[in-house]
Structure formats: C-alpha cells, structure tokens
C-alpha cells in the first residue's frame, strides 16, 4: 500500500468519472483540490455527505477549490447513486464521482486499509494545494459523517498560511486574529501588518486579518 505524507506531491491519475475521463492534475489546473473517498456506493452516511458537498459548491468555488469523490464501484453504479443523492439530499451533484473498480487510484493514495477492509476504501479526505502538494489528510470512521464547515475552516487556514504568512490558533474561526508564522521577523511583520500586532511571547504574535 502506498503511503502519502503531508508535503508529498499528490499522485496523478487518469480515470473515468461521472463527468467524463479526467487527468487529475490537468483537471485541478491552478486550483486547490479536495478529494474524498467512500467505501462503496449507496452507503447511507456517504449519501448525506455527497449531497452536502454539492450544496456547499459555491463555498468551495469562492475559495478556488475543486472537489471530487471516489469509490471502488463502477461508473454505471455511480450514475444511479447520484440520482439517489440528488433526490434524497435535495442537491445537484456537479462534481466528478470517480470510478475506481480496479482500485488503482485507491492503492495509489493508500485508501485501502486491510485492517478496515481489504477491498473497500476507507473514508479519507485529501486537500491539495495548486502546486499539487498534499496539505491535509483526514480519515473518518464509517459511522461519522464529515463536517464540511470544519473542512472549509481548514481550507481557510491553509490559504491564510499560503498567501498571508499566518497560522491559525485553536478553535480559530474566519475573522478571528491569527498567528504570525515564526519565519516572519518582527520587521517583516510590521510591514505585512501595518495595523500592528500583539506580541504575547516572542514566539506567539497575533495579528488582525488584513481586510
């Protein structure tokens, strides 16, 4: 089984999906990406998740994030499942649902965990930066639905670090003060945050988010 670590380049693949054949890196382009895996089609918790992911489409689009889902069932099954998702979750699934019936992508991303199931994917989340670097990995148990507000919060945090040299403290919410990353000197911080910042400790500096 392939093991991906944070900071690794997300493996590329070409696969069939509900939106046609996609070359994953080419499809991502200059966008951020979120790839979520599901153990099988027509599973109850996953049905609610994909409906929610569809209904959060504008939130992802506003953050320049492309989303895709994958399971080990074939494309024909995916198409029927999408109909159920749209009906039961009052949604419109407009993102790719990737068919991985040969488990090649799942193996590439280490989504098959023999201790959980030797054939089905575990419920993982990969958030990928525009440079194709893996920035976040989460694995959920089958019984616990993903929290998409939390995933958006993580994306907001990752983008703050990428674009504004800020990290986020415990329980941070969008609009709260953020932590200036240690690699930024006080002199550089004064230039980056002209409204000022609070030095709680030399290693803990808090700044208001730029408008």
Q: Tens of pLDDT along 30-80?
A: 999 999 998 889 999 999 999 999 999 999 999 999 999 999 899 999 999
* DSSP secondary structure letter of residue 154: H
Rounded CA-CA distance 50/48 in Å is 6
Domains of the chain plus CATH, in order, are 14-146 (3.40.30.10), 165-207 (3.30.1020.10)
Cβ-Cβ contacts under 8 Å for 62 (sequence gap 6 or more): none
* pLDDT value, residue 211: 64
- pLDDT value at residue 60: 98
> What is the CA 55 to chain-centroid distance, rounded?
15
Tens digits of residue pLDDT in 142-180: 889 999 999 999 999 999 999 999 999 999 999 899 999
**46 among known catalytic residues:** yes
The encoded tokens of residue 142 equal 């089958």
The model's confidence at residue 118, banded by pLDDT at 50, 70 and 90, is very low
**C-alpha distances in angstroms, 35 versus 38, 79, 127?**
10, 18, 7
Question: Tell me: the pLDDT tens digits for 92-105?
Answer: 999 999 999 998 99
Residue of 10, 34, 46, 155 marked catalytic: 46
Q: What percent of the chain has pLDDT over 70?
A: 93
User: What is the share, in percent, of the chain residues with pLDDT greater than 90?
Assistant: 82
Q: Read off the pLDDT band of 3 (50, 70, 90).
A: confident
CA-CA distance, 201 to 69, in Å (whole number)?
43
**Confidence at 141, pLDDT banded by 50, 70, 90:** confident
Q: What is the model's pLDDT at position 120? A: 54
Check if the beta carbon of residue 146 is closer than 8 Å to that of residue 47.
no
């Amino acid at each position: 089984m392939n093991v991906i670590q944070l900071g690794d380049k997300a493996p590329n693949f070409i696969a069939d999906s509900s939106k046609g054949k996609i070359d994953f890196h080419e499809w991502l382009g200059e966008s951020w990406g979120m790839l979520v895996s599901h153990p099988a089609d027509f599973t109850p918790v996953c049905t609610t998740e994909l409906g929610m992911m569809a209904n959060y489409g504008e939130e992802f689009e506003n953050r320049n994030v492309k989303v895709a889902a994958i399971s080990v069932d074939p494309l024909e099954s995916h198409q029927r499942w999408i109909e159920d998702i749209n009906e039961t979750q009052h949604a419109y699934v407009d993102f790719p649902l990737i068919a991985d019936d040969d488990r090649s992508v799942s193996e590439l991303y280490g989504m098959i965990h023999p201790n959980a199931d030797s054939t089905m994917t575990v419920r993982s989340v990969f958030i990928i930066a525009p440079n194709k670097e893996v920035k976040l990995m989460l694995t959920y148990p089958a019984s616990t639905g993903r929290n998409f507000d939390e995933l958006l919060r993580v994306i907001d945090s990752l983008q703050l670090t990428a674009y504004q040299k800020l990290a986020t403290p415990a329980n941070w919410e969008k609009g709260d003060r953020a932590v200036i990353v240690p690699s930024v000197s006080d002199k550089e911080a004064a230039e980056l945050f002209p409204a000022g910042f609070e030095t709680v400790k030399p290693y803990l500096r808090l700044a208001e988010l730029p408008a």
